[in-house]
C-alpha cells in the first residue's frame, strides 16, 4: 500500500479486503495481489486500526486451506514481529497463524509458543480465548511429553475463573485434552491450582458442571494418578450432588466420573429405573 495514502484510506481498503477474504474466490484474488507482501509492514503500522484490520485480513485468508501454500513465504517474516508486539490486535494475528495446522512448522521454527503465558494474561478476552485454542492445537498435534513443560497449567486453571464464559470453556477444553494423556493428567493433579475445578461443579456457566465431570473422568482413567486426599473428599461430595440434577446429561456425566474416580462409592450403584429418560 503506497506510503502517501492516508491512514483513513488505508483503513477503508483493509476493511473491504478483510470482509472479502472470507470468500474463497475473493481470497484468491487477494493472495495474488501486491497487498500480500505488505502484510508484515501493515501489522507494524503505527495506526492501531490498520493493525487490527490487517489482523482480520490474515484471519480471513487463513480460513481457506489453499492459502498457506501462497502465504508460507511471508509467515517466517510475520511471526518474529508478532512476538515483539504488545498490541492485542497483533496478538490476534499471531494466534490466528499459530492455530492454523499448516503453519505449525513455521510457528515452531520461530518459537512463537514462547508468548503463550503472556497472551493468556491479555486484557482482551478474544486473545485469551485464542491463546487457549493455540495450546489445544499444540497438544493435539504433538507428543505430550515434548510440550508439557512449556504448557502453563497454572494459568490455564486460573482461566477457569475468567469473566468470559467462552474463555472458561476453551480453557476447560484444553485441560480435558491434556488430561487424556497420563503425563498430562499427572501434571494437572500436581498443579497447585488443580483444586479450582471444585468451583466448577456449582458454576453458573452453561454446561460447566458437566464438563467438570468430564475432566475428572479423564484424570481418573489413569490408574496411577492419585488425586490429593483433601481434594478427593470434597470432589466426591460435589459429584454426588450432581446426581440429583434435573439435567439427565449432567447426571450421566456425574455418574461416569463417580464410577471412574470413586468406584466403590455407594452412590455409584443407584436403584433408579434404568428406563428413565427413554
Per-residue pLDDT of the chain (278 residues; tens, 9 = 90+): 555 577 788 888 888 888 888 788 888 888 788 887 788 788 778 887 887 788 778 777 776 665 555 555 556 556 655 555 556 666 666 666 655 555 555 555 445 466 788 889 989 898 899 889 888 877 887 788 878 888 899 999 999 999 999 999 999 999 999 999 999 999 999 999 999 999 999 999 999 999 999 999 999 999 777 888 889 999 999 999 999 999 999 999 999 999 999 887 777 655 555 444 44
Q: Is residue 152 part of a domain?
A: no
In a domain, 254, yes or no: yes
Q: Is 112 part of any domain? A: no
Provide the domain count of the chain. 1
> The domain that contains 249 carries what CATH number?
1.25.10
Is residue 129 situated within a structural domain? no
Asked if residue 146 belongs to a domain, the reply is: no
- The answer to the question of residue 68 being in a domain is no
Q: What cell does 139 get?
A: 497438544
Q: What pLDDT, on a 0 to 100 scale, did the predictor assign at position 69?
A: 56
Residues 217, 122: Cα–Cα separation, whole Å: 31
In a domain, 265, yes or no: yes
Predicted local distance difference test score (pLDDT) of residue 39: 80
Q: 237 in a domain, yes or no?
A: yes
Which structural domain range is residue 211 located in?
Answer: 181-269
Amino acid at each position: 500500500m503506497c506510503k502517501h495514502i492516508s491512514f483513513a484510506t488505508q483503513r477503508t481498503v483493509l476493511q473491504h479486503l478483510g470482509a472479502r477474504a472470507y470468500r474463497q474466490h475473493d481470497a484468491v484474488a487477494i493472495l495474488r495481489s501486491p497487498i500480500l507482501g505488505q502484510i508484515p509492514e501493515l501489522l507494524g503500522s503505527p495506526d492501531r486500526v490498520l493493525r487490527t484490520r490487517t489482523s482480520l485480513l490474515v484471519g480471513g485468508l487463513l480460513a481457506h486451506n489453499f492459502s498457506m501454500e501462497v502465504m508460507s513465504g511471508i509467515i517466517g517474516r510475520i511471526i518474529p514481529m508478532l512476538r515483539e508486539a504488545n498490541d492485542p490486535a497483533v496478538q490476534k494475528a499471531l494466534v490466528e497463524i499459530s492455530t492454523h495446522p499448516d503453519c505449525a512448522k513455521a510457528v515452531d521454527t520461530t518459537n512463537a509458543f514462547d508468548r503463550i503465558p503472556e497472551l493468556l494474561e491479555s486484557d482482551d478476552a478474544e486473545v485469551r480465548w485464542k491463546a487457549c485454542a493455540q495450546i489445544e492445537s499444540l497438544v493435539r498435534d504433538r507428543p505430550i511429553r515434548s510440550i508439557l513443560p512449556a504448557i502453563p497449567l497454572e494459568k490455564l486453571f486460573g482461566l477457569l475463573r475468567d469473566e468470559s464464559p467462552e474463555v472458561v470453556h476453551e480453557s476447560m477444553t484444553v485441560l480435558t485434552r491434556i488430561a487424556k494423556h497420563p503425563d498430562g493428567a499427572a501434571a494437572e493433579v500436581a498443579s497447585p491450582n488443580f483444586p479450582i475445578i471444585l468451583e466448577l461443579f456449582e458454576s453458573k456457566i452453561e454446561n460447566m458442571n458437566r464438563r467438570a465431570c468430564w475432566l475428572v473422568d479423564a484424570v481418573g482413567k489413569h490408574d496411577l494418578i492419585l488425586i490429593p486426599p483433601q481434594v478427593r473428599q470434597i470432589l466426591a461430595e460435589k459429584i454426588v450432588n450432581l446426581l440429583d440434577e434435573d439435567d439427565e446429561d449432567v447426571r450421566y456425566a456425574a455418574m461416569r466420573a463417580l464410577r471412574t474416580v470413586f468406584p466403590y462409592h455407594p452412590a455409584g450403584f443407584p436403584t433408579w429405573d434404568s428406563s428413565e429418560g427413554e
